[in-house]
């Protein structure tokens, strides 16, 4: 099940980034799951950059949550491109709204790509600005983390399944 979810997640991130933003993310080495243990490593982080964290919960079999974390620079650039605005004009409300919607699109497409069809209900995404330390949180036992490189920046997707 974990591998199927991981593959669907990678497919969903690629589809949304490519079709909506013309950015081509690549999965990078540190992806892992945490069955029976803690996650390993979080990839290289840029300590000077603030990040945006979006979280969405899903109810189904299984239930859980999907968390997307990406650096401010990339979030700003993607928001500006999508809205046809200069990056300097893009404010926090637009960035948080767009990253919330981005996580919503990734989550919806992840479930669409799953071979195991079931009824999943998504909550409204909550998006917030977080410190670098907060981005290093790892999923508990029963979760996975997938790292991507997108436009030279690091994107992190965490999937936490309820036991």
Partner 1 sequence: MGYNVLIVDDSQTMRKVIRKSVDLSGLPLGECWEAGNGVEALDLLGSHPIDVILTDFNMPGMNGLEMIRELQKNEKHCRIPVVLITTHSQDWVIQEALSLGIKGFIRKPFHPEAIRDLLSQVMEEKSV
- The residues of the shown chain that bind partner 1, judged by CB under 8 A, are 15-16, 19-20, 79, 82-84, 93-94, 97-98, 100-101, 104-105, 107-109, 111-112, 117, 119-120, 122, 124
CA gap 105, 36 in Å, rounded: 30
With 0-12 / 13-18 / 19 or more C-beta atoms within 10 angstroms meaning exposed / middle / buried, residue 88 is exposed
Instruction: Supply the minimum distance, in Å, between the C-beta of residue 64 and partner 1.
Output: 15
Q: How far is the CB of 133 from partner 1 (least distance, A)?
A: 28
Q: Which is nearer to partner 1, 15 or 46 (CB)?
A: 15
Q: Considering the complex, what minimum distance in angstroms separates the CB of residue 83 from partner 1?
A: 5
Give the integer Cα–Cα distance in Å for 57 and 161. Answer: 10
Within 8 A by CB and 6+ apart from 146, the residues are 6, 9, 10, 13, 27, 31, 156, 157, 158, 159
DSSP state of 52: E
C-beta of 65 vs 138, nearer to partner 1: 65
Nearest-approach distance from CB 117 to partner 1, in angstroms? 7
Q: Which is nearer to partner 1, 66 or 158 (CB)?
A: 66
List the Cα angle 59/65/70 in 5-degree steps.
145
* CB-nearer residue toward partner 1: 122 or 130: 122
């Amino acid at each position: 099940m974990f591998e199927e979810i991981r593959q669907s997640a990678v497919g969903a991130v690629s589809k949304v980034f490519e079709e909506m933003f013309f950015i081509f993310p690549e999965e990078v080495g540190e992806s892992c799951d945490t069955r029976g243990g803690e996650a390993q490593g979080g990839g290289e982080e840029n300590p000077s950059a603030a990040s945006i964290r979006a979280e969405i919960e899903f109810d189904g079999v299984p239930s859980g949550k999907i968390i997307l974390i990406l650096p401010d620079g990339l979030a700003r650039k993607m928001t500006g491109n999508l809205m046809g605005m200069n990056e300097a004009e893009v404010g926090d409300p637009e960035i948080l709204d767009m990253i919330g919607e981005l996580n919503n699109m990734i989550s919806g497409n992840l479930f669409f790509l799953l071979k195991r069809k079931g009824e999943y209900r998504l909550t409204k995404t909550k998006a917030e600005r977080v410190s670098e330390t907060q981005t290093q949180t790892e999923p508990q036992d029963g979760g996975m983390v997938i790292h991507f490189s997108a436009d030279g920046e690091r994107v992190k997707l965490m999937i936490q399944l309820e036991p």
